[in-house]
Structure 1
Amino acid sequence: MNNVRCADSALHRNLGYWSVDIRRGTVCLDRTAASLLGLAAGDSRDLHETLSRFSTLDRARLIEGALKAFQTRTVFDIRVVTGAKRDVHVHLIGGRGYSGRDADAELHGIVEALPPSKRFGIASGPLGMQVRAAEAR
Protein backbone atom coordinates (compact mmCIF):
# COMPACT_ATOMS: atom_id res chain seq x y z
CA MET A 1 0.00 0.00 0.00
CA ASN A 2 2.87 2.37 0.77
CA ASN A 3 4.25 1.99 -2.79
CA VAL A 4 0.88 3.02 -4.22
CA ARG A 5 0.86 6.21 -2.13
CA CYS A 6 4.41 7.04 -3.26
CA ALA A 7 3.49 6.50 -6.91
CA ASP A 8 0.36 8.67 -6.54
CA SER A 9 2.36 11.37 -4.79
CA ALA A 10 5.06 11.35 -7.49
CA LEU A 11 2.42 11.50 -10.22
CA HIS A 12 0.73 14.44 -8.51
CA ARG A 13 4.03 16.34 -8.35
CA ASN A 14 4.64 15.76 -12.06
CA LEU A 15 1.18 16.18 -13.59
CA GLY A 16 -0.87 19.36 -13.52
CA TYR A 17 -4.06 20.74 -15.06
CA TRP A 18 -4.56 24.00 -16.97
CA SER A 19 -7.45 25.82 -18.61
CA VAL A 20 -7.45 28.88 -20.90
CA ASP A 21 -10.42 31.22 -21.22
CA ILE A 22 -9.67 32.67 -24.65
CA ARG A 23 -12.42 35.27 -24.46
CA ARG A 24 -11.07 36.73 -21.21
CA GLY A 25 -7.39 36.07 -21.94
CA THR A 26 -6.88 34.26 -18.64
CA VAL A 27 -5.28 30.98 -17.59
CA CYS A 28 -6.26 28.86 -14.63
CA LEU A 29 -3.52 26.54 -13.33
CA ASP A 30 -3.67 24.02 -10.55
CA ARG A 31 -0.88 24.08 -7.96
CA THR A 32 1.25 21.52 -9.82
CA ALA A 33 0.95 23.25 -13.21
CA ALA A 34 1.83 26.61 -11.66
CA SER A 35 4.86 25.10 -9.95
CA LEU A 36 6.08 23.41 -13.15
CA LEU A 37 5.84 26.73 -14.98
CA GLY A 38 7.68 28.57 -12.21
CA LEU A 39 4.64 30.62 -11.19
CA ALA A 40 2.99 31.18 -7.84
CA ALA A 41 -0.26 29.32 -7.34
CA GLY A 42 -3.36 31.43 -7.89
CA ASP A 43 -6.90 31.30 -9.16
CA SER A 44 -6.31 32.78 -12.62
CA ARG A 45 -3.66 34.84 -14.31
CA ASP A 46 -3.06 36.77 -17.50
CA LEU A 47 -2.47 34.59 -20.57
CA HIS A 48 0.47 36.76 -21.69
CA GLU A 49 2.14 36.40 -18.28
CA THR A 50 1.87 32.62 -18.52
CA LEU A 51 3.11 32.45 -22.11
CA SER A 52 6.12 34.58 -21.17
CA ARG A 53 7.44 31.55 -19.25
CA PHE A 54 8.32 29.88 -22.57
CA SER A 55 11.13 30.73 -24.98
CA THR A 56 10.12 32.69 -28.08
CA LEU A 57 10.38 29.61 -30.31
CA ASP A 58 8.48 27.36 -27.90
CA ARG A 59 5.85 30.07 -27.35
CA ALA A 60 5.23 30.31 -31.11
CA ARG A 61 4.95 26.51 -31.42
CA LEU A 62 2.62 26.34 -28.44
CA ILE A 63 0.33 29.12 -29.68
CA GLU A 64 0.22 27.66 -33.19
CA GLY A 65 -0.58 24.17 -31.90
CA ALA A 66 -3.21 25.40 -29.43
CA LEU A 67 -4.98 27.61 -31.98
CA LYS A 68 -4.98 24.85 -34.59
CA ALA A 69 -6.39 22.38 -32.05
CA PHE A 70 -9.04 24.89 -30.97
CA GLN A 71 -10.14 25.72 -34.51
CA THR A 72 -10.10 22.16 -35.84
CA ARG A 73 -11.37 20.46 -32.68
CA THR A 74 -8.25 18.33 -32.41
CA VAL A 75 -5.74 17.79 -29.61
CA PHE A 76 -2.24 19.27 -29.51
CA ASP A 77 0.67 17.43 -27.97
CA ILE A 78 3.92 19.38 -27.59
CA ARG A 79 7.12 19.31 -25.54
CA VAL A 80 8.63 22.62 -24.48
CA VAL A 81 11.16 24.04 -22.04
CA THR A 82 9.99 26.46 -19.36
CA GLY A 83 10.80 27.68 -15.85
CA ALA A 84 12.52 30.77 -14.55
CA LYS A 85 15.89 29.42 -15.79
CA ARG A 86 14.42 27.69 -18.87
CA ASP A 87 15.49 24.39 -17.37
CA VAL A 88 12.18 22.56 -16.87
CA HIS A 89 11.13 20.24 -19.69
CA VAL A 90 7.37 19.73 -19.89
CA HIS A 91 4.86 17.91 -22.06
CA LEU A 92 1.64 19.86 -22.77
CA ILE A 93 -1.47 18.13 -24.09
CA GLY A 94 -4.71 19.97 -24.64
CA GLY A 95 -7.65 20.80 -26.81
CA ARG A 96 -10.99 22.48 -27.11
CA GLY A 97 -13.44 21.97 -24.29
CA TYR A 98 -16.25 23.58 -22.37
CA SER A 99 -16.63 24.50 -18.73
CA GLY A 100 -19.79 24.47 -16.68
CA ARG A 101 -19.62 28.26 -16.31
CA ASP A 102 -20.79 29.25 -19.79
CA ALA A 103 -21.25 28.06 -23.36
CA ASP A 104 -18.01 29.54 -24.73
CA ALA A 105 -15.36 27.07 -25.82
CA GLU A 106 -12.05 27.07 -23.95
CA LEU A 107 -8.75 25.20 -24.08
CA HIS A 108 -8.15 22.58 -21.39
CA GLY A 109 -5.31 20.19 -20.80
CA ILE A 110 -2.53 18.78 -18.72
CA VAL A 111 1.14 19.56 -18.23
CA GLU A 112 3.60 16.83 -17.29
CA ALA A 113 7.16 17.27 -16.03
CA LEU A 114 9.50 15.20 -18.17
CA PRO A 115 12.30 13.23 -16.53
CA PRO A 116 15.66 13.36 -18.32
CA SER A 117 15.04 9.98 -19.94
CA LYS A 118 11.94 11.31 -21.78
CA ARG A 119 13.09 14.79 -22.78
CA PHE A 120 13.97 13.98 -26.37
CA GLY A 121 12.96 11.48 -29.00
CA ILE A 122 9.29 12.36 -29.58
CA ALA A 123 8.08 11.68 -33.10
CA SER A 124 7.21 15.19 -34.21
CA GLY A 125 5.28 16.87 -36.93
CA PRO A 126 5.89 20.39 -38.26
CA LEU A 127 7.60 22.65 -35.75
CA GLY A 128 8.04 19.78 -33.30
CA MET A 129 4.42 19.18 -32.41
CA GLN A 130 2.02 16.33 -32.78
CA VAL A 131 -1.63 16.97 -33.52
CA ARG A 132 -4.15 14.18 -33.14
CA ALA A 133 -7.77 14.17 -34.20
CA ALA A 134 -10.30 14.10 -31.39
CA GLU A 135 -14.02 13.79 -31.16
CA ALA A 136 -15.78 17.14 -31.37
CA ARG A 137 -18.08 17.90 -28.51
Structure 2
Amino acid sequence: MPRTYTITVHDRQTGKEYSLQVPEDRYILHSAETQGTELPFSCRNGACTTCAVRVLSGEIHQPEAIGLSPELQRQGYALLCVSYPRSDLQVETQDEDEVYELQFGRFFAKGRVKAGLPLDED
Protein backbone atom coordinates (compact mmCIF):
# COMPACT_ATOMS: atom_id res chain seq x y z
CA MET A 1 0.00 0.00 0.00
CA PRO A 2 1.44 3.42 -0.97
CA ARG A 3 2.43 5.89 1.72
CA THR A 4 0.33 9.04 2.04
CA TYR A 5 1.80 12.44 2.78
CA THR A 6 0.39 15.75 3.97
CA ILE A 7 0.85 18.52 1.43
CA THR A 8 0.33 22.12 2.54
CA VAL A 9 -0.22 24.53 -0.35
CA HIS A 10 -0.09 28.28 0.18
CA ASP A 11 -1.87 29.95 -2.75
CA ARG A 12 -0.17 33.35 -3.12
CA GLN A 13 -2.85 34.64 -5.49
CA THR A 14 -5.78 34.04 -3.11
CA GLY A 15 -3.97 34.04 0.25
CA LYS A 16 -5.57 30.69 1.06
CA GLU A 17 -3.80 27.68 2.51
CA TYR A 18 -4.83 24.11 1.75
CA SER A 19 -3.93 20.85 3.45
CA LEU A 20 -4.10 17.74 1.30
CA GLN A 21 -3.50 14.04 1.77
CA VAL A 22 -1.64 12.68 -1.26
CA PRO A 23 -0.48 9.10 -1.87
CA GLU A 24 3.09 8.77 -3.13
CA ASP A 25 1.85 7.23 -6.40
CA ARG A 26 -0.60 10.06 -7.30
CA TYR A 27 -0.02 13.45 -8.87
CA ILE A 28 -0.46 16.26 -6.34
CA LEU A 29 -2.70 18.35 -8.63
CA HIS A 30 -5.03 15.44 -9.37
CA SER A 31 -5.29 14.61 -5.66
CA ALA A 32 -6.04 18.25 -4.84
CA GLU A 33 -8.89 18.27 -7.37
CA THR A 34 -10.41 15.05 -6.05
CA GLN A 35 -10.37 16.65 -2.59
CA GLY A 36 -12.20 19.75 -3.85
CA THR A 37 -9.21 22.10 -3.93
CA GLU A 38 -8.87 24.25 -7.04
CA LEU A 39 -5.30 25.19 -7.89
CA PRO A 40 -3.95 26.89 -11.03
CA PHE A 41 -3.21 24.58 -13.98
CA SER A 42 -3.31 24.54 -17.75
CA CYS A 43 -1.71 21.74 -19.76
CA ARG A 44 -1.66 18.90 -17.19
CA ASN A 45 1.39 17.33 -18.81
CA GLY A 46 4.34 19.22 -17.30
CA ALA A 47 4.99 21.42 -20.33
CA CYS A 48 3.90 24.86 -19.10
CA THR A 49 4.41 26.80 -15.85
CA THR A 50 0.81 27.51 -14.80
CA CYS A 51 0.87 25.04 -11.88
CA ALA A 52 4.40 25.94 -10.76
CA VAL A 53 5.15 26.03 -7.05
CA ARG A 54 8.21 26.65 -4.92
CA VAL A 55 8.93 23.81 -2.51
CA LEU A 56 9.49 25.35 0.92
CA SER A 57 10.12 22.05 2.70
CA GLY A 58 9.98 18.37 1.89
CA GLU A 59 10.86 16.20 -1.06
CA ILE A 60 9.09 16.00 -4.40
CA HIS A 61 9.56 13.72 -7.43
CA GLN A 62 8.79 15.15 -10.89
CA PRO A 63 10.37 13.07 -13.67
CA GLU A 64 7.92 14.37 -16.30
CA ALA A 65 8.35 18.11 -15.61
CA ILE A 66 9.65 19.07 -19.05
CA GLY A 67 8.44 22.68 -18.55
CA LEU A 68 11.11 23.29 -15.89
CA SER A 69 14.83 23.18 -16.48
CA PRO A 70 16.92 20.97 -14.19
CA GLU A 71 18.39 24.19 -12.78
CA LEU A 72 14.98 25.53 -11.73
CA GLN A 73 14.11 22.14 -10.26
CA ARG A 74 17.32 22.28 -8.20
CA GLN A 75 16.25 25.77 -7.03
CA GLY A 76 13.08 24.22 -5.61
CA TYR A 77 10.53 24.80 -8.34
CA ALA A 78 8.04 22.05 -9.18
CA LEU A 79 5.00 21.48 -11.40
CA LEU A 80 2.11 20.05 -9.38
CA CYS A 81 0.44 18.44 -12.40
CA VAL A 82 3.30 15.93 -12.73
CA SER A 83 4.71 15.85 -9.18
CA TYR A 84 4.58 13.05 -6.64
CA PRO A 85 5.21 13.60 -2.93
CA ARG A 86 8.15 11.80 -1.34
CA SER A 87 7.59 13.31 2.12
CA ASP A 88 5.26 15.76 3.80
CA LEU A 89 5.54 19.01 1.80
CA GLN A 90 5.03 22.72 2.13
CA VAL A 91 4.73 24.49 -1.22
CA GLU A 92 3.79 27.96 -2.41
CA THR A 93 2.16 28.80 -5.75
CA GLN A 94 4.16 31.07 -8.03
CA ASP A 95 3.33 33.75 -10.55
CA GLU A 96 3.25 31.96 -13.91
CA ASP A 97 4.90 34.86 -15.76
CA GLU A 98 7.72 35.01 -13.22
CA VAL A 99 8.52 31.30 -13.59
CA TYR A 100 8.16 31.48 -17.38
CA GLU A 101 10.66 34.34 -17.48
CA LEU A 102 13.10 32.40 -15.27
CA GLN A 103 12.71 29.40 -17.56
CA PHE A 104 12.78 31.10 -20.96
CA GLY A 105 13.89 34.72 -20.40
CA ARG A 106 17.41 34.04 -21.65
CA PHE A 107 15.90 33.45 -25.11
CA PHE A 108 14.25 36.88 -25.23
CA ALA A 109 17.05 39.44 -25.30
CA LYS A 110 14.66 42.40 -25.55
CA GLY A 111 12.72 41.41 -22.42
CA ARG A 112 9.00 40.77 -22.21
CA VAL A 113 6.93 40.64 -25.37
CA LYS A 114 4.82 43.74 -25.96
CA ALA A 115 1.43 43.13 -27.55
CA GLY A 116 0.71 44.77 -30.88
CA LEU A 117 4.27 45.79 -31.82
CA PRO A 118 6.35 44.30 -34.62
CA LEU A 119 9.33 42.31 -33.36
CA ASP A 120 11.87 44.92 -34.50
CA GLU A 121 10.21 47.86 -32.68
CA ASP A 122 10.12 48.79 -29.00
Bigger radius of gyration among the two: 2
| Structure with bigger RCO (C-alpha 8 Å, 6+ apart) | 2
TM-score (norm 2): 0.30
User: Relative to total residues, which structure has the larger strand share, 1 or 2?
Assistant: 1
More helix by share: 1
